[in-house]
Amino acid sequence: MPRLLLLLVLIFAAVWLWKRWQRALAAVQATRTAASGGAGRRLSEPMVACAECGTFSPASQSVSAAGRSFCCGEHADRFLQRQRSAQR
């Protein structure tokens, strides 16, 4: 029985030390990232929905026409043609 109790205490201590080491390592990495001004940190790009099909695409790759965003030039043309035919 005393050996079992000693084994449980050793396992508990090992797990506690492991978790404490992991937290300390994460804190050091966070400090380094903050000190470098977030270098290497990838910022997300805003996504916009296509007015024709509803597909989301990055704003830098979208096509803008008539004040709306589209996933491709074909959808922009199709939308503009529908708008022109509706005005007639």
User: What gap in Å lies between CA 40 and CA 84, rounded to an integer?
Assistant: 47
What's the pLDDT tens digit per position in 53-66?
999 999 999 999 98
pTM: 0.49
For the stretch 4-60, pLDDT in tens is 999 999 999 999 999 999 999 998 888 887 776 655 556 688 999 999 999 999 999
Residue 88's pLDDT is what?
73
Total number of domains in the chain? 2
- Cβ proximity of 76 and 70 under 8 Å: yes
Same domain, 1 and 38: yes
* Domain interval for residue 38: 1-42
β partners of residue 70: 63
CA distances to 12, 49, 65, 68, 85 from 17, rounded to whole Å, are 9, 48, 59, 56, 71
Same domain, 51 and 24: no
Q: Is 53 found in the same domain as 29?
A: no
